[in-house]
Amino acid sequence: MPSAAYVLLCALLVLAFVTRKVRAYYGLRQFGGHWSAGWSRLWLLKTQNSGEMHKRFAALNRKHGSTARVGPRMLITSDPDLLRRMNAVRSPFTRGYWYTALKLHPERDNITSVIDERIHADLRARMAPGYSGRENVHMEQDVDEKLLGLFDLIDSKYVARPEEGIFRTMDLSRTTSFFTLDVISKIAFGETFGFLDKDEDPYGYLANLKQFLPAIIWFGVYTELTNILKAPLIKGALPKSTDKRGLGRVMGFARDRVQERFGQKPIVRQDMLGSFITHGLSQAQLESETLTQITAGSDSTASALRVTLHFVSTSPPILDRLLAEAKAAIAAGKISRPVIQDAEARQLPYLQACIKEGLRIYPPVTGLMAKQVPAGGAMIEVDGVEKFAAGGTQIGWNSWGMMHDPEIFGEDCEIFRPERWLSKDGSEKEKARVTRMNETVTLNFGYGRFGCLGRGVATMELNKAVIETLLRFNLQPCSLAKPFDEMVVGFTVHENMNFIVTERLSAEKIKESQMNGGADVDAGALPGSYES
């Protein structure tokens, strides 16, 4: 028979557990959500592991309000005003424990995973000049070089020539990932992984990442599990820089590039890594940060690029209008050849509308990016009603729900329609409508003190790659019924996005255009959509 002391101890432990659960439940009792979310994190885990977390979160906010409950101490919001409030420079909200799941290096935090506000702010200040391009003078040139490398690959291996009996298909999800991975490695290290040159994943990185991202979800839901990563048995199973394949091999690549910048005869380059060193990041910090650069800086951009190309190329009126805008700009000498410059692309209204619509229709990042309510709690407005959120509550963002809000983007928000970004007239009401959409879509890149440092690089890649790809190639999807496979796990993993690619503008015409400053490229030199 157990002793009375033992029974009393068990009873006290049960009471403490129940009290904690009840306190957590009542801390967010005013917020609607799934019936089990007030007591358990299992619904949140199941939702995020479903592969369609974006759609389930959007449905939750539609049913239970713009800010709803997803766990005992967690909310999710599709309210852009609340997101801006939490991310504002002087906001009392801080980075939530959710971010600890993004610790990609087994021993060191990075700018994404660190939750100490002072450390995070210091890292941002040190790294911002390298991302901005002010201290990376070859950034745009490097992007151009990799973009032309992408076109060489497509032209040599994937262009179908039916008249010659050559039938090929190209997986756009694969080639866009190769492009963005080589871009980020080039501008960060001055050396590429070689995805485009080899037309393969030389490290098995993409396959390993597909396995790794769902694991991050577990740690994001049960953040206390991050403590087990320090255990020798678990630590030994994690990716290591000595691995021959996968994420560990990429860690090794990053480590080698960092080590080249230190020692007796360090390599000195004006690139991101060089800028980070100039601003005092240590060798250990750099090994962790460069791994984050590679993962965060490539997957989200690749997702936005391929989705935009997919929607434009499958909408002939949109494609025609976009090409007409580019043709007119080329004929007027407003677009550089062989590759449009970033500043020039920003002056093309319809191109910018297509890019914004791509970011809106398929937001690249679906992770919760949860912020934490200050100790005293906070009043949260939910559809006009003030509700109290207890201190310590985490509030994640629902990117899909926010970018598909009919009150902001119109009743046709489920349709890819770039025209929504173009003002119909000069009225104040119309200006306010477009301004509100712009302010919302830019939240894809964060806001305030949590804004994405890589936004400039990502938009440069999109500004160039979208229009230049469509100027050169016709993209015909192999299946409109099922154009691609996808898995949404914080990022959107696309596979089997297969297209038939035919030539639109020949290599000879591109060279001729370059020699003549682009002035000879008129409507006749650029056939309409789906003409090869």
Q: Which residues are annotated as a binding site?
A: 452
- Lookup: tokens for 98: 């959710």
Strand residue runs (E) in 270-402: 371-372, 378-382, 385-389, 394-397
Torsion of CA 229, 234, 237, 239, to 10 degrees: 10
Helix axes 316-331, 349-361, angle to 10 degrees: 140
Phi-psi region of 526 (alpha: psi -120 to 50; beta: other; left: phi over 0): beta
3-state secondary structure of 33: strand
- How many residues belong to the chain? 532
Element (H, E) at 491: strand 491-495
Query: For residues 32 and 383, is the Cβ–Cβ distance under 8 A?
Result: no
525 DSSP assignment: G
Single-letter amino acid, residue 315: S
Dist CA 82 CA 245 (whole Å): 42
Dist CA 352 CA 330 (whole Å): 16
Tell which residue, 453, 410, 443, 404, has the closest CA to residue 82: 443
Query: For residues 354 and 418, is the Cβ–Cβ distance under 8 A?
Result: yes
- Provide the annotated binding site for heme: 452
Dist CA 225 CA 342 (whole Å): 43
Residue appearing with tokens 């702010």: 121
Query: For residues 86 and 404, is the Cβ–Cβ distance under 8 A?
Result: no
Query: For residues 291 and 241, is the Cβ–Cβ distance under 8 A?
Result: no
Single-letter amino acid, residue 512: E
Q: Report in angstroms the alpha-carbon separations of 281 from 10, 188, 236, 258, 262.
A: 50, 14, 27, 11, 12
Element (H, E) at 394: strand 394-397
Could you tell me which residues are beta bridge partners of residue 486? 494
3-state secondary structure of 393: coil
Helix (H), strand (E), coil (C) string for 205-240: HHHHHHHHHHHHHHHHHCHHHHHHHHCHHHHHHCCC
